[in-house]
Amino acid sequence: MGKKQTPGYIRLYKSGELAKRVELALQGLTKCRVCPWNCDVNRLEGETKVCRTGRYARVASYFAHFGEEDCLRGWRGSGTIFFSWCNLRCVFCQNYDISQEEAGIEAGPRRLAGMMLELQEQGCHNINWVTPEHVVPQILEALPLAIEGGLRLPIVYNTSAFDSMESLHLMEGIVDIYMPDFKYWTKDKAKRFLKMPRYPEVAKAALKEMFRQVGDLSFDANGLATRGVLVRHLVMPGELEETRQIMQFLAKEISPDTYVNIMGQYYPSGKVSSEKYEQINRRVTSREMETAYLFAQLAGLHRFDERKLLWN
Ligand code: SF4
């Protein structure tokens, strides 16, 4: 294997740029516009609004995750840190207890840095921040402490794509792999199922910015992802037209070489059992999954998450 590259965040740490970003990000908490809700609350004083997170991040769990894509989990797992709460209110959330209930523990910067280092110690291939959209300043605050403790792993930013441009700019040069989950294409559906009609326009802009920063996904000799954008799309029952539009967008406006994980594991969860969401109260069929792949191929995409690592 070739020599490992110095992570971008270490370069930013050494140049003093990371310290500037931490300061800027923490200042931003006084009138919070960390995500596109623009709540304007003073989180430094502990005020909360949509994401229910104040001064410090909450962590639901952290562990070596073997359920992620092969190129992230490898053979020693992806070092996943699940942040509690969320800035979206998806009615079908597959992690409802984490996103909508007060799961886990509050973690200040030292604790958060310690988690990253523990995961590195366990041999994980990367640090995978899950649902980071509302805690970008808190993550940045922890990062210098983790670097001082010896953090060297690539960073994965695992997001709904409801991210502000400011937060993505703060993460430039720090995140190696962006993993946005593009959920819905139309305003109406986003309003109905995510409770956020602006989601599609925000997600489109976020994906373009992520791609500008890191480009198409690339791998090392062992098949581990090293840098780039990995797009996830959870296929929803009866919503193939949404899938078709998203695949066209990826092929035409991001890159025909976009690496995509078309996911078929949706199951009714969260608030879906109520009559109001009857339409999505079932799993997707294999026919629907075939159609989703067909739409992706017809759009011009050809890099799907089927790649097997060398040890398989
Ligand atoms: S991060 Fe939370 S408080 Fe800040 S704008 Fe988003 S939802 Fe509102």
pLDDT in tens, 166-175: 999 999 999 9
* Cα–Cα dist 107/60, whole Å: 10
Q: Is 184 in the pocket of ligand 1 (CB under 6 A)?
A: no
The closest residue, in CA terms, to atom 8 on ligand 1 is 39
CA distances for 312 relative to 125, 262, 287, angstroms: 17, 21, 28
Give, for ligand 1, the residue of 40, 44, 49, 131 to mutate: max count of ligand atoms closer than 8 Å to Cβ: 49
User: Quick one: pLDDT at residue 273?
Assistant: 84
Q: Is 162 in the pocket of ligand 1 (CB under 6 A)?
A: no
User: Quick one: pLDDT at residue 27?
Assistant: 97
* Cα–Cα dist 248/299, whole Å: 5
Beta strands in 235-269 (DSSP E): 259-263
Residue 59, SS3 per DSSP: strand
User: Quick one: pLDDT at residue 129?
Assistant: 98
Tell me the CA–centroid distance for residue 33 and ligand 1, in Å: 6
User: Quick one: pLDDT at residue 4?
Assistant: 67
Instruction: pLDDT tens for the chain, 312 residues: list them.
Output: 445 678 999 999 999 999 999 999 999 999 999 999 999 999 999 999 999 999 999 999 999 999 999 999 999 999 999 999 999 999 999 887 888 787 899 999 999 999 999 999 999 999 999 999 999 999 999 999 999 999 999 999 999 999 999 999 999 999 999 999 999 999 999 999 999 999 999 999 999 999 999 999 999 999 999 999 999 999 999 999 999 999 999 999 999 999 999 999 999 998 898 778 999 999 999 999 999 999 999 999 999 997 544 443
Tokens describing residue 162: 């409801």
Q: Is 34 in the pocket of ligand 1 (CB under 6 A)?
A: yes
Q: Which atom of ligand 1 is nearest to the CA of 133?
A: 1
The closest residue, in CA terms, to atom 2 on ligand 1 is 51
The closest residue, in CA terms, to atom 6 on ligand 1 is 35
